[in-house]
Structure 1
Amino acid sequence: IALTVIQVLVRHFPALNFLVSGGGGGSFFSPKSSKPLPDGLVVHDGWYQSVRPTYRSLLLNMDVSSTTFYPTGSLIDVVCAFFGARNITDIRPDWLRRDRNRLVLYLKGLKTKLTYENHTKRSDYKIAALTKEGARETVQEIDGKMISIADYYLTRHSIRLEFPTLPCAVMDKKGRVIIPMELLTVKPGQRHTGKLNDKQLADMIKVTAVRPDQRLRRIEDGRRTLHGRNPMLADWGFALGDRLVEIEAHQMQPPTLTFGGGRTQESDGSWNYGRGMQFRLPCRPLACWAVAVFDRTDVRAVENFVGHLGQKLESMGVQVHNQQPPIIPAFDLPPEQVLRKCQQAALAEKRGDINYCQLVLCILDGRDKLVYKEIKAAAETVILPGLMTQCCLSRHVMANKPAYISNLILKINAKMFGVNVGLDLARELPELNEPAIIMGADVSHPPPGGNGMSIAALSASVDHTYARYRATYRRQPHVRSEMIQNLEEMAIELFALFKQSNPRYPPRKVLFYRDGVSEGQFDEVAFEEIPQLKKALAAMGWADTKLTFITVMKRHHARFFPTNRNDADRSGNVPAGTVIDTGVTHPSEFDFYLFSHPGLQGTSRPSHYHVLYDENALTCEALHRITYRQCYLFARSTRAVGTVPAVYYADIAATRASCHAIGGIDDTSTVMSGMTGRNSNQTFGDIIPAIKQTMYFT
């Protein structure tokens, strides 16, 4: 209660002067610092704050914060901004028909105000929908007579509409209150909570990614702006220091990575495959594969790209027995039909005794996301015995850059049972130099305002490399429920796959990393999920296996800056391998912040790990090292990543579930029409067993 009172105290004065968002300490935004985004949004800069207890002190956690808002002004102008038009006459009628559903999602819930006085004296309305026709064509029964909206406003309010062909705003679920757009203004300070599209997200990153020194200055400016003249703190006997807290951190030694042929390389967060360097374990020889071209990319460009791809695979230790796979043009054909053609063509031109198609390289134009989802659904849930697919964009095929091909083959090798990079377990991970499983879990939710499903996903390592993973997922019984309801069933499924790879050696340890849990949910997740994991271990006959349960928080506002420029990395950030476990951590529990990745753009954010349960009695130093070393084994990258790969794989698997849903799930998480080979009573198509035993999700 005392902490809540202090949160309210430090929040009250800034809330009088800024736009407020979020509970607790909250975020405060200034309308004066706005930057436009595509498709009718603006970014407001501000600050986040929260009071946090630490050992023998209270700290005010402050950070820069930016979020998206709707622009203010007339609703007509806001709609123009959505379409990127200068004025309403530039918006073509076919745009309104084509993007009507997207416009409704954008406007739904928007608070507006009338520009005229009506007889009810009510002026504030919230948009629920849009009419299908314009004000001239939309009719409504008023006083027992049918009249168009345009004529109603002319006769009742003496208002002749300037744009009678525009759709009208519907202000209630029953469609009784209909108001022309030109008679409404958008109320200021309305935050946009929906999902950003690709263009908006890219621009948002450009706007918000600032160098560490710039971010530090803005945080210090935030303290002065929010609390420099705050009389309430002094009235209650509180004082806020004017300097950031300095804390001690320690940096772990970089690991030595292992590659093919016994080659090794010490890494401080990134590495490259130099001359003569090969994958740690190259995948099986590529002897039966094909290429599907889902757009009009020139065949000669495809042949050239495939040739360079094969050469690069060979240089990394992967034997490519068929250097000229069949190329199947697929423009305007259903993806399932195209993939079956590829399967037949690959088998017809195979090299050796292999009896299945190993890989289909799919070239897409990138504008039709539905094609990608249909490819993954058909290949992984419909076409037997299962097809491994690797999608790439046609613009990258045309560019044919070595860097892109190098990244692409990382995914291909991992999908086909290879290992890109390894660690010397005896040296780097002595605590795991015995049978053990590393697991990651996450729950994805539909965007705010969406009516989709929440999906729980789980990943687990299946061998001693800690680089090969399997994944599974389930639909949560209740939307937006964070606790995983079917964790026991999911864990048993992955434990069985581990047992297939290790029939004689049950795991002695399980390290479980749980993403997506807030601090207020720690007790609930511990009481609900740890017993399910223990039951799953007992069901496998592994009751003696010891469990460590760790939460991972990536979305937080703790930021750290080197006090000495010589201690920073090239980007000015805290260097990879830095651990903070004093000063700003919990006063009595086992938690730490870890910078596992080198700075690349903006200010690095560490992952916050919190141990809720530890039967393995791991020391702080051991858990720091185990967690850090894992971050070098993410299959998609030649850089250490920001959190353990098991969590990333769970997140990717949850995203892939949208492709396997009956008909797939669109970007607003609503179920679309079905496809062949599915049981319409299922939520998801069953993943083909052969695919389930691979890293198809990489």
Structure 2
Amino acid sequence: MVSVVEYFKNIYRIPLHYLFLPAIQVGNDTKPVYLPMKLCKIIEGQRHDLKRLNEKEVAALLKANCQPPNVNEGDSNRMVARNNYNNKMIVNEFGLQVSAELTSIDARVFPPPTLQYHGTGHEALVNPKMGQWCLFKKKMFKGGKVESWTCINFSQIKTEGASVFLLEAFASDPNDIEEELTEIYSRSSSPTSVVNYYFARWTIKRICETKLGIVSQCCQPRKVLQGLMQHLKSVVLKINVKVVASIDWPEVTYRAVVSAQPPRKEIIQNLYTVTKAPIKGLVHGGMIRELLMEFNRSTNHKPKRIIFYRDGIGEGQFAQVLLFEMDAIRKACESFEENYRPLVTFVVVQKRHHTSLFPADGTIHNILPGTVVDNMICHPTQFYLCSHAATKGVSRPKHYHDENNFTADGLQTLANNLCYTSARYTRSVSIVPPVYYAHLAANRGRCYMEDDMSDTASTSGGRGSRERDVEVRPLPGIKENVQAVMFYC
């Protein structure tokens, strides 16, 4: 055994100074490797922090990455020319040729759906243009009714004089969030709490939804003080969908079921479960069965068709995921009622791909919302759909895979039309709302698991090296009255 100082002096003839500094551990727990700080250099361009970027960093990142389509197209052409693939040995060995030009493909553009608002408003029907529309002179098709509410300011920023926002908020100590919310709950039978926050959003959500049964809406104080009409409309949309309880047409709202998942497990584990109880015998459960039961309670009908949108699967996992999860759906249906076999369409939505589509005329504009490509660059059961109008940068079409018997037009039209039904926006979204909502609900479940989680920590993209060894803890139960609405929006 020798010290680090002796080792570097004897082997490399390097005398070490600054002996008070710790060494850097660059190995792992089972085989540690220690290096002196003085001899280490950090390679430029590496991420130094996995926490959420601040506003300036986000703005700089967006500016660097969001280039107009014609600039992005030019970058792609220059990259191909610079790489000169046709003169590379590995390309020639396989007898391949790489075209220096972009591939020209045929595309279709689906028209936007007609949206219906309440007939008592000035405008009951809306025809979106370029994937957008306005709430002006319109009333919600089904407006929520808030029986009791209050507004609290848990931030350090004073919001007096911001009554144009909603109503005057009374200030509360951010260190006593649970006590304040519990006091509010005790004073009212069914409060909806509209909360201004600065740093403790996830704490508020966890307490409201798992302990008290309060539906809450959090807002940033600086947005409140600005009083911008667009922001007010956005908040109104989110509040409305949290007090409208329906899972039946035509409200197009979605009940969420959240379940803990082991790390690095791509297949959803809790779609269908069966356990053996001492007295009851076999007990059937799982998320699919729970949703079937709720649909039946709300409508007095069983679904005749299930459309299952799935996200987060690589192409190499399609067969395995389809086999396991379709089997779970079938078993959940059979457990609900003998010989109950609704038609199931299993659709995979892929966001992380490297396909970009550009207009043939080379303009600075993106492809139109509703653009579909289902030939030349697609498998017969796949298509690219760009359902939204990108505000910056290049629109990313989403990749859908149909494993059932929808016609191409039927499935594509359904996906495109669904993207106009997001309860949070007056614009079409880039992925179908069920998938979008699932991400929101999953993030909410994560905040329940990580107690007193800050907004910064909640968006951290890092994964610990020991993540795979973490024991999966069950999620805390969500209060029934909160479950009935889209609390996660």
TM-score between the two structures when normalised by the length of structure 1: 0.61
Q: How far has the Cα of 1:235 moved from its partner?
A: 4.9
Q: Which amino acid aligns with 2:99?
A: G
Residue 482 (str. 1) matches residue 338 (str. 2): no
CA contact (8 A) 1:573 1:604 kept: yes
Q: How far has the Cα of 1:305 moved from its partner?
A: 2.7
Identical-pair percentage: 27
Residue 243 (str. 1) matches residue 36 (str. 2): no
Match of 1:582 among 368, 375, 379: 375
In structure 1, the residue matched to 2:253 is: 468
Residue 271 (str. 1) matches residue 129 (str. 2): no
CA contact (8 A) 1:257 1:266 kept: yes
Cα gap change, 1:592 to 1:294, in 2 (>3 Å): same
For the residue of structure 2 that corresponds to 1:624, the secondary structure is: helix
CA contact (8 A) 2:266 2:313 kept: yes
In structure 1, the residue matched to 2:184 is: 342
- 1:6-59 CA-partner distances (Å, limit 9, x unpaired): xxxxxxxxxxxxxxxxxxxxxxxxxxxxxxxxxxxxxxxxxxxxxxxxxxxxxx
In structure 1, the residue matched to 2:201 is: 372
CA contact (8 A) 2:68 2:394 kept: yes
Q: Which amino acid aligns with 1:596?
A: S
In structure 1, the residue matched to 2:279 is: none
In structure 2, the residue matched to 1:653 is: 441
Counterparts of 1:222-237 in structure 2, within 5 Å, are 222-227=79-84, 230-232=87-89, 233-237=91-95
Match of 2:25 among 157, 170, 173: 170
Cα gap change, 1:409 to 1:223, in 2 (>3 Å): same
In structure 2, the residue matched to 1:604 is: 395
Matches of 1:630 and 1:258, distance apart in 2: 13
CA contact (8 A) 1:271 1:638 kept: yes
CA contact (8 A) 1:364 1:394 kept: yes
In structure 2, the residue matched to 1:253 is: 111
Q: How far has the Cα of 1:183 moved from its partner?
A: 2.1
Q: How far has the Cα of 1:224 moved from its partner?
A: 1.0
Matches of 1:193 and 1:498, distance apart in 2: 47
Cα gap change, 1:400 to 1:657, in 2 (>3 Å): same
Cα gap change, 1:236 to 1:659, in 2 (>3 Å): closer
CA contact (8 A) 1:497 1:693 kept: no
In structure 2, the residue matched to 1:330 is: 172
For the residue of structure 1 that corresponds to 2:259, the secondary structure is: strand
Cα gap change, 1:195 to 1:495, in 2 (>3 Å): farther
In structure 1, the residue matched to 2:290 is: 493
For the residue of structure 2 that corresponds to 1:552, the secondary structure is: strand
Q: Which amino acid aligns with 2:253?
A: R
Cα gap change, 1:237 to 1:229, in 2 (>3 Å): closer
Residue 639 (str. 1) matches residue 435 (str. 2): no
In structure 2, the residue matched to 1:389 is: 216
For the residue of structure 2 that corresponds to 1:487, the secondary structure is: coil
CA contact (8 A) 2:259 2:474 kept: no
For the residue of structure 1 that corresponds to 2:119, the secondary structure is: helix
Match of 1:184 among 9, 31, 40: 40
Residue 686 (str. 1) matches residue 470 (str. 2): no
Counterparts of 1:166-565 in structure 2, within 5 Å, are 166-172=21-27, 173=29, 178-186=34-42, 195=50, 197-199=52-54, 200-227=57-84, 230-232=87-89, 233-261=91-119, 263-268=124-129, 269-274=131-136, 276-284=137-145, 286-307=146-167, 327-344=169-186, 347=188, 355-357=189-191, 359-365=192-198, 368=199, 371-383=200-212, 386-417=213-244, 462-465=247-250, 467-476=252-261, 478-488=262-272, 489-503=286-300, 505-541=301-337, 543-564=340-361
Matches of 1:183 and 1:662, distance apart in 2: 38
CA contact (8 A) 1:658 1:664 kept: no
CA contact (8 A) 1:562 1:573 kept: yes
Q: How far has the Cα of 1:255 moved from its partner?
A: 1.1
For structure 2, list consecutive stretches of 5 or more residues without a partner in the other structure: 273-285, 465-470
Matches of 1:176 and 1:509, distance apart in 2: 56
Q: How far has the Cα of 1:334 moved from its partner?
A: 2.7
CA contact (8 A) 2:267 2:324 kept: yes
Q: How far has the Cα of 1:329 moved from its partner?
A: 2.1
Between 1 and 2, higher relative CO (CA 8 Å, sep ≥ 6) is seen in 2
Q: How far has the Cα of 1:651 moved from its partner?
A: 0.9
Number of residue pairs aligned between Structure 1 and Structure 2: 454
Matches of 1:466 and 1:623, distance apart in 2: 20
Q: How far has the Cα of 1:694 moved from its partner?
A: 1.1
Q: How far has the Cα of 1:611 moved from its partner?
A: 0.8
Q: Which amino acid aligns with 1:539?
A: S
Counterparts of 1:76-91 in structure 2, within 5 Å, are none
Q: Which amino acid aligns with 2:203?
A: E
Q: Which amino acid aligns with 2:38?
A: E
For structure 1, list consecutive stretches of 5 or more residues without a partner in the other structure: 1-140, 144-148, 308-323, 348-354, 419-460, 671-679
More strand by share: 1
Q: How far has the Cα of 1:562 moved from its partner?
A: 1.1
CA contact (8 A) 1:627 1:644 kept: yes
- 1:292-350 CA-partner distances (Å, limit 9, x unpaired): 2112332523444324xxxxxxxxxxxxxxxx6xx4422242321121123345x3xxx
Q: How far has the Cα of 1:537 moved from its partner?
A: 1.7
Cα gap change, 1:154 to 1:523, in 2 (>3 Å): closer
Q: How far has the Cα of 1:174 moved from its partner?
A: 6.9
Matches of 2:446 and 2:119, distance apart in 1: 40
TM-score between the two structures when normalised by the length of structure 2: 0.85
For the residue of structure 2 that corresponds to 1:185, the secondary structure is: coil
Cα gap change, 1:193 to 1:521, in 2 (>3 Å): farther
In structure 2, the residue matched to 1:116 is: none
Q: How far has the Cα of 1:206 moved from its partner?
A: 2.1
Q: Which amino acid aligns with 1:512?
A: F
Matches of 1:245 and 1:649, distance apart in 2: 34
CA contact (8 A) 1:590 1:611 kept: yes
Q: How far has the Cα of 1:650 moved from its partner?
A: 0.8
Q: Which entry has the higher C-alpha Rg, 1 or 2?
A: 1
For the residue of structure 2 that corresponds to 1:361, the secondary structure is: strand
Q: How far has the Cα of 1:591 moved from its partner?
A: 1.2
For the residue of structure 1 that corresponds to 2:151, the secondary structure is: strand
Q: How far has the Cα of 1:175 moved from its partner?
A: 9.3
Cα gap change, 1:545 to 1:303, in 2 (>3 Å): same
Cα gap change, 1:193 to 1:492, in 2 (>3 Å): farther
CA contact (8 A) 2:159 2:224 kept: no
Matches of 2:151 and 2:401, distance apart in 1: 45
Q: Which amino acid aligns with 1:267?
A: P
Matches of 1:581 and 1:557, distance apart in 2: 16
Cα gap change, 1:261 to 1:207, in 2 (>3 Å): same
Matches of 1:580 and 1:529, distance apart in 2: 28
For the residue of structure 1 that corresponds to 2:344, the secondary structure is: strand
Matches of 1:331 and 1:167, distance apart in 2: 41
Q: How far has the Cα of 1:593 moved from its partner?
A: 0.6
For the residue of structure 1 that corresponds to 2:161, the secondary structure is: helix
